[in-house]
């Protein structure tokens, strides 16, 4: 299921992910995509020291995903991918490529020509990076996901090296795509394409359908 959460604090979203990971591992829920937006925060993955974000004027949080430091904030669509991996799916590189592919297909639908830029993760348009991707796994259930710059203020990146790169590499779709649709439209595209690459069904549900406070029968 896909759930739109709107603006959510980072700590609350992280706690929600961990709760959903446990529920998914126990088969109490199905695979879930959370779509949301954060207040300004810099997260530091396993690939970097927290010192990489020294001097950042926002909260800095060390997290479980792979990768280095990145910013989340207003103007992004953040997607957290809670998927139980079975059999041949148990390959994190394959999961990363699948998340990238879902974003790539969305951007193609918006009329641009996105690409990958090995060895870096994420999605690029020409020489510019518009989407960061980082995944973690617990009990063979994925969490974390992607952050797509839609109408982002790129000044946030100038206070550190995002993903170990020069801040000038980062870009936002509103600077590239003419007549950019509303975030809700882009979210629907993302959910549809991610469901396709993971061979899942797409179904939008309300946030209260997560039903975190009630035990399954």
- φ and ψ at residue 172, rounded to 5 degrees: -135, 145
Q: Is 200 helix (H, G, I), strand (E, B) or coil?
A: coil
What are 69's strand-pairing partners? 44
What are 56's strand-pairing partners? none
Residue with tokens 């952050």: 147
131 is catalytic: no
Q: What CA–CA distances, in Å, run from 44 to 52, 79, 85?
A: 8, 17, 25
Q: What CA–CA distances, in Å, run from 70 to 152, 165, 174?
A: 13, 10, 19
H-assigned helices in the chain: 10-25, 92-109, 183-197
Sign, CA dihedral 44-121-101-71, equals: positive
Which of 7, 3, 70, 82 has the alpha carbon at shortest distance from 35?
Answer: 3
Annotated catalytic residue, options 8, 163, 170, 186: 163
Question: Which are the catalytic amino acids?
Answer: 163
């Amino acid at each position: 299921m896909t759930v739109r959460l709107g603006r959510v604090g980072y700590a609350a979203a992280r706690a929600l992910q961990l709760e959903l990971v446990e529920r998914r591992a126990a088969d109490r829920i199905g695979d879930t995509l959370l779509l949301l937006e954060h207040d300004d925060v810099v997260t530091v993955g396993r690939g970097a020291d927290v010192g990489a974000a020294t001097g950042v004027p926002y909260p800095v949080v060390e997290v479980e995903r792979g990768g280095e430091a990145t910013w989340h904030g207003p103007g992004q669509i953040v997607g957290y991918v809670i998927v139980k991996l079975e059999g041949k799916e148990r390959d994190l590189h394959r999961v990363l490529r699948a998340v990238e592919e879902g974003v790539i297909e969305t951007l193609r639908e918006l009329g641009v020509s996105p690409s990958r830029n090995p060895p870096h993760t994420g999605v690029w348009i020409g020489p510019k990076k518009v989407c960061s991707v980082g995944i973690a796994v617990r009990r063979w259930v994925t969490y974390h996901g992607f952050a797509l710059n839609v109408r982002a203020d790129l000044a946030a990146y100038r206070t550190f090296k995002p993903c170990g790169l020069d801040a000038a590499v980062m870009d936002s779709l509103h600077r590239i795509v003419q007549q950019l649709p509303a975030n809700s439209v882009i979210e629907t595209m993302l959910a549809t394409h991610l469901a396709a690459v993971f061979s899942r069904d797409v179904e939008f549900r309300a946030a209260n359908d997560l039903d975190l406070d009630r035990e399954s029968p």
